[in-house]
Amino acid sequence: MCEDHEMRCSCGASSASIMFRDEIFPEEIVSRVYCPQCSAGVEFDAATMVADNGWIIEFDMEVAEYFRDRAPELTGAITPEALFDGGYATWRGVYPGEHEDSARERQELLELSRIDKARYFKEFKQWGRKRMERLRQEGWRKAQAS
Ligand SMILES: [Zn+2]
């Protein structure tokens, strides 16, 4: 069970869906989210932040430390990277807003299926792989491992 929470960024121009794996940590471990606009004015602190392609998630490491017993598989120091990469508090999807883009792209494909079935099947087969490749090149953190 993964709940996701919509969080507005610090300047209010954007928002990100953040997913908390199995609700192990409460959403309070995320203190702020910065979009590419507002992250420019932030001094990056590796002790509390993860940067991803212009976005920054700032964690409340005290809260994370307080709840650390709930994640016994997290051995060693709890770091922002461990929280993000382990899925304890991470984007829903590969990047903020991916589920909206993904839904739109699927819709476009669906429209193509009405016009040109053969091309639709061809495009659909390549769609997942091609977009993952694009996201990897764009530099999104969650696209790097695959
Ligand atoms: Zn912002």
Structure confidence by residue, pLDDT tens digits, 71-114? 988 888 899 999 999 999 999 999 998 888 888 999 999 999 99
Q: Report the separation in Å between the CA atom of 44 and the middle of ligand 1, taken as the mean of its atom positions.
A: 15
For the chain, what percent of residues have pLDDT higher than 70? 97
pLDDT at 99: 82
Q: How far is the CA of 33 from the centre of ligand 1 (A)?
A: 8
Please give the distance, rounded to the nearest whole angstrom, from the Cα atom of residue 70 to the centre of ligand 1.
Answer: 31
Q: What is the mean pLDDT of residues 134-142?
A: 95
Q: Would you state the pLDDT for residue 4?
A: 76
Q: How many A from CA of 22 to the centre of ligand 1?
A: 27
* Ligand 1 centroid distance, CA of 43 (Å): 14
Cα of 26 from ligand 1 centre, angstroms: 22
50-77 pLDDT, tens per residue? 999 999 999 999 999 999 999 988 888 8
Q: What is the band of 3 on the pLDDT scale with cuts at 50, 70, 90?
A: low
DSSP codes, 86-146 = TTSSEESSSSTTHHHHHHHHHHHHHHHHHH-HHHHHHHHHHHHHHHHHHHHHHT-GGGS--
Mean pLDDT of 128-140: 93
Cα(38) to centroid(ligand 1), Å: 4
| Helix-strand-coil split of the chain, %, nearest 5 | 45, 20, 35
What is the value of pTM for the model shown? 0.86
CA of 39 to the centre of ligand 1 (A): 7
Distance 11 CA to ligand 1 centre (A): 4
